[in-house]
Structure 1
Amino acid sequence: MLVGGRIDLHDRIGGVHRRRIDVQPVAGLRPGLLEQWLGDATGRDDIRLGDVLTGGNSNVTRLIETRQGRLVLRHPPVNVVSDKAAAGIEREYRAISALYGKAPVPKPVAWCGDASVIGQPFAVTEWIDGHALSERLPPDWPQTTETIDALGLAMVRGLAQVHALDWRETVDPGFGRPEGFVERQIARWLKVRENDAVRELPLLAQIAAWLRAHEPQQPRASVIHCDFHLDNCLMARTGPELRAILDWEMATLGDPRIDLGLCLFFWQRDAAASPGFAFVQGLSNRADVISPRALADAWSEASGLGHDSIDYFIVFAAWRLAAIVEGAWVLQCQGKEDTAYARGLEHDVPALLREAAAIIDKGKV
């Protein structure tokens, strides 16, 4: 959940600390090779490899000190589960390279596809100082509903800057297919879960059938993040001002309401109902904050796009997340992984599916 910035985890004590995946950095990394490569690629000097930074569930993030300023290094972990991890890092770099100067993303610095340098392909961006928030506000911020409301508005307005761009003028033609993302995701994850099933999840197929039967028409495509929520936003240290949107490794083209649906799904949930991944945007789990509908209106105003049928995309977001993260529970059951994150999925995946089903049953869509 971090590229090109710093995460302060004061807001995640007892939350993400317990539940994050243990991504492991490259063992035996030889700093000299990296420093030489970076010097040649960027012209920087006095380069020193710093600590592994906390935050992030799928890639390793490390600080780099240089005489000209701090940088951030991102690479797949050595304990990578998916063979597509390196492609994800490259996609992330392509995305921020295309978006930089047009939307709030870190400044790209260098890409290295040569695994011989550090043992994995890697990307380098400029460092951005700020807060990535989830469960708590920084202690020096006003602890008020108005602060949380401002965070939510900054989040969706930043997202709107991405979605308002004409993708044809922003990314290269091979970045993604603008149509059919929802159906491709349903087909893909149903097949994966059927092939690797370790428990009965009847709602997975039932909700998928409902999604297929009710998919609304896509008015236009945009560059989409595909994992957009408050945790992947870097806020200014002084208050709720968006500095950058992070973690672009799943970016593609599709209906912009896909991104909006996920961040609205995580907003203003009932913590007493034990929702899945309750810590994500947990600071908004209270009745007196700005409503998801008001955030959707703010996104529409900023992007110039409509949010018709947004509840459909909220259902899709919950279903897709459940289908994807069930893979870590499969590994847990197979004895290939044993982490607090994976163990928690015994509850979280069914809970996500129940939340999606409840939205359908209430007839919100």
Structure 2
Amino acid sequence: MRWLETEAGIGDARLVRRLEGGNANVTCLLETDGGPMVLRHPPSDTISEFAGAGIEREFRFTSAIAQSAPVPEPVLFCNDRTVLGVPFSITLFVDGTAITDTLPPAYPDSIATRNVIGGALIDALASVHAIEPLPAGLGDAAKGRDFVSRQVRRWRQVRRAEAVRDLPQIETLGAWLVENVPTPESVRIVHCDYHLDNVLMDANEPQVNAILDWEMATLADPLVDVGLVTAMWNRDERKPLGFAFVQRISNHAGVISGSGLADRWSHATGLSIDRLAYYQAFALWRLAAIVEGAYVLFRNGQVDGDYERGLERDVPALLEAAEGFARDEGFA
């Protein structure tokens, strides 16, 4: 860690341990003379020349919004592979806990607590979407207006090329999504994978300390984010659920609905949610199309884990839920 001291002025840096989560990237806790920090980098055995693109994107977006939304404060990004062998970033450490199917011990186990969590979750997202004008250096806002149709075309093509089972909704619903893309009311900063698992909640009270995992951030219609987080909020446990653990603490009678969270977001941002069901359908369809890639690897004998095995059920369940939202928009 001598480089950090000589080049970045971060003294006495020591690697403490690897942190959980972080998607496909390695996330480690550092102790330094300036306090705890977080090191993020792609796996060291990666061979792709684009392996650092997500880390660089995350650093670029969080640097642009750190004063306006709850994100870990960026410290540096290094693309010099002679230092660690891979590109890496460093941020200040943010304490907190990720919530899935159980509440932190300090939280009252009540419907009211779950509603406060939902409000904090959507308010944090609204703080990102409220940022305008768009900061420089984040991409082409005009291109962002076409994000949804480009994504559907891309993932239909990928799934056609790699199909290992019959998933008719990839085609039927994909075609409908392309034909019915709404005209964006606005283009904003979009996280692209926003849900409760990707935020750090305070361990003692239901507030968002930081939004994590910005590797897929882009400029697009902000309803791309709203669609995903609300589609997976307060789901019916009597139905097959794709990724049932995600936001499972919300799956209780009396908890505010996903549409209720969307109403709150609309009030905070001043943006319409008239086409919310479309974006909920798109979000779940896109998620299913993306993660099906891991199931393809499993079927081809390249990976074999609980996550990949679970996709046999998760992907069809996501597509079924997506179709349900699309029916609300006229899909037949």
For residue 85 of structure 1, report the CA deviation from its aligned partner: 3.4
Alignment CA distance shift 1:358-1:302 (3 Å): same
8 Å CA contact 1:95–1:171 kept in 2: the answer is no
Q: What pairs with 1:1-365 in structure 2 (closer than 5 Å)?
A: 35-78=1-44, 80=46, 84-168=50-134, 170-172=135-137, 174=139, 177-362=143-328
8 Å CA contact 2:77–2:89 kept in 1: the answer is yes
Of the structure 1 ranges 231-240 and 353-362, higher mean CA displacement relative to structure 2 is found in 353-362
1:264-286 CA distance string (max 9 Å, x none): 01101112212110001111112
1:98-127 CA distance string (max 9 Å, x none): 111111111000101012212211110000
Q: Secondary structure at the match of 2:17?
A: strand
Q: Which runs of 5+ in 1 are unaligned?
A: 1-34
* Partners of 1:190 and 1:235 in 2: CA distance: 35
Q: Secondary structure at the match of 1:116?
A: helix
TM-score (norm 1): 0.87
* Partners of 2:176 and 2:329 in 1: CA distance: 12
8 Å CA contact 1:163–1:222 kept in 2: the answer is yes
Alignment CA distance shift 1:205-1:88 (3 Å): same
For residue 219 of structure 1, report the CA deviation from its aligned partner: 1.0
Task: Write the letter of the residue equivalent to 1:59.
Answer: N
Task: Write the letter of the residue equivalent to 1:87.
Answer: A
* Partners of 2:133 and 2:200 in 1: CA distance: 23
8 Å CA contact 2:62–2:73 kept in 1: the answer is yes
For residue 175 of structure 1, report the CA deviation from its aligned partner: 5.9
For residue 83 of structure 1, report the CA deviation from its aligned partner: 5.8
* Aligned residues: CA RMSD: 1.7
TM-score (norm 2): 0.95
* Partners of 2:304 and 2:50 in 1: CA distance: 22
8 Å CA contact 1:41–1:110 kept in 2: the answer is no
Q: Secondary structure at the match of 1:206?
A: helix
Alignment CA distance shift 1:80-1:280 (3 Å): farther
* Partners of 1:175 and 1:70 in 2: CA distance: 35
1:28-55 CA distance string (max 9 Å, x none): xxxxxxx112112331212111111112
Of the structure 1 ranges 254-263 and 46-55, higher mean CA displacement relative to structure 2 is found in 46-55
* Partners of 2:96 and 2:329 in 1: CA distance: 40
8 Å CA contact 2:153–2:178 kept in 1: the answer is no
What percentage of aligned pairs have identical amino acids? 48
Equivalence for 1:21: none
8 Å CA contact 2:234–2:252 kept in 1: the answer is yes
Alignment CA distance shift 1:123-1:133 (3 Å): same
For residue 343 of structure 1, report the CA deviation from its aligned partner: 0.9
1:175-196 CA distance string (max 9 Å, x none): 6632100011011101111111
Alignment CA distance shift 1:175-1:238 (3 Å): farther
8 Å CA contact 1:86–1:120 kept in 2: the answer is yes
For residue 235 of structure 1, report the CA deviation from its aligned partner: 1.2
* Partners of 2:319 and 2:148 in 1: CA distance: 17
Q: Secondary structure at the match of 1:148?
A: helix
8 Å CA contact 1:311–1:364 kept in 2: the answer is no
8 Å CA contact 2:61–2:138 kept in 1: the answer is no
